[in-house]
Amino acid sequence: MKHYGIQLNGEYLGSYALYWGFYAVIASFSSAFLLGRGYTNSEIGIILAAANIASVFLQPLIADVADRSKRFDAITVAEISAIAMMVSCMGLLIFRRRSAALWAVYVMAYAWQLSLQPIMNSFSRKLKESGCSINFGLCRSGGSVGYSIVMVIMGSLVDKFGPETLPPAGLITLALLFSVFALMKKSFKAACAYNKSQSASASPESSESAEFSEAAAPKAPAEEDAEDINLIEFIRSNGMFTLMNIFVVFLYFQNAVVNTFMFQIVTEAGGNSVDMGRILSIMAMIEVPVLLVFTKINARFSSAFLLKFGAANFTLKILTMMMAKTVTGLYLAQFFHLFSFSLFFPAVVAFINEMMRKGEAVKGQALFTTATTISGIFASVFGGIILDASGAKMLLLVSFVTAAIGMAGIIYTAGKIKKHA
Surface-to-core class of residue 238, CB atoms within 10 Å of its CB (0-12 exposed, 13-18 middle, 19+ buried): buried
Q: 118-142 burial, b if ≥16 CB within 10 A, otherwise e?
A: bbbbbbbbbbeebbbebbbbbbbbb
Q: How far apart are CA 132 and CA 302, in angstroms?
A: 22
pLDDT values of the chain reduced to their tens digit, one per residue, 421 residues: 567 678 888 999 999 999 999 998 888 777 778 878 888 767 777 888 888 888 878 877 887 777 666 677 788 888 999 999 999 999 999 988 888 899 999 999 999 998 888 888 778 777 777 777 888 778 888 888 898 888 778 877 877 788 888 999 999 999 999 999 999 888 888 877 777 776 666 555 544 444 434 444 444 444 444 455 666 777 777 788 889 999 999 999 999 888 777 777 887 888 876 677 678 778 888 888 887 788 889 889 998 999 999 999 999 999 999 999 899 999 999 889 989 988 998 898 888 888 777 667 777 877 887 888 889 888 877 887 787 788 889 999 999 999 999 999 999 998 888 765 4
| Amino acid in the structure at residue 38 | G
Task: Mark whether 234 and 129 lie in a shared domain.
Answer: no
Task: Mark whether 304 and 176 lie in a shared domain.
Answer: no
Q: Is residue 218 part of a domain?
A: no
How many domains does the structure of the chain reveal?
A: 2
Q: How far apart are CA 73 and CA 66, in angstroms?
A: 5
Q: What is the pLDDT of residue 37?
A: 86
Q: Is residue 210 part of a domain?
A: no
DSSP three-state, residue 203? coil
Task: Mark whether 240 and 168 lie in a shared domain.
Answer: no
* CATH for 369: 1.20.1250.20
Q: Is residue 421 part of a domain?
A: yes
Q: What is the pLDDT of residue 207?
A: 46
User: Which residues lie below 8 Å from residue 263, measured CB to CB, with a gap of 6+?
Assistant: 273, 276
Give the domain-ending residue among 168, 193, 218: 193
Q: Is residue 45 part of a domain?
A: yes
DSSP assignment of 275-323, as one string?
A: HHHHHHHHHHHHHHHHHHTHHHHHHHS-HHHHHHHHHHHHHHHHHHHHH
Task: Mark whether 150 and 241 lie in a shared domain.
Answer: no
Give the domain-ending residue among 174, 193, 212: 193
Q: Is residue 225 part of a domain?
A: no
Task: Mark whether 179 and 248 lie in a shared domain.
Answer: no
Task: Mark whether 297 and 384 lie in a shared domain.
Answer: yes
Q: Is residue 200 part of a domain?
A: no
Task: Mark whether 37 and 173 lie in a shared domain.
Answer: yes
Task: Mark whether 184 and 236 lie in a shared domain.
Answer: no
Q: How far apart are CA 12 and CA 130, in angstroms?
A: 14
Where is 390: in which H helix or E strand?
helix 361-390
Q: What is the pLDDT of residue 194?
A: 72
Task: Mark whether 9 and 112 lie in a shared domain.
Answer: yes
CA-based diameter of the chain, in Å?
Answer: 75
Predicted model pTM: 0.72
Give the domain-ending residue among 193, 221, 255: 193
**Please, are residues 62 and 115 in contact by the beta-carbon 8 Å criterion?**
yes
Task: Mark whether 57 and 172 lie in a shared domain.
Answer: yes
Among 341, 351, 16, 394, smallest CA distance to 181 is for: 16
Task: Mark whether 329 and 415 lie in a shared domain.
Answer: yes
The CA-to-CA distance between both ends of the chain, in Å, stands at: 29
- Structural domain for 322, as ranges: 230-421
Q: Is residue 215 part of a domain?
A: no
Task: Mark whether 238 and 189 lie in a shared domain.
Answer: no
Q: Is residue 261 part of a domain?
A: yes
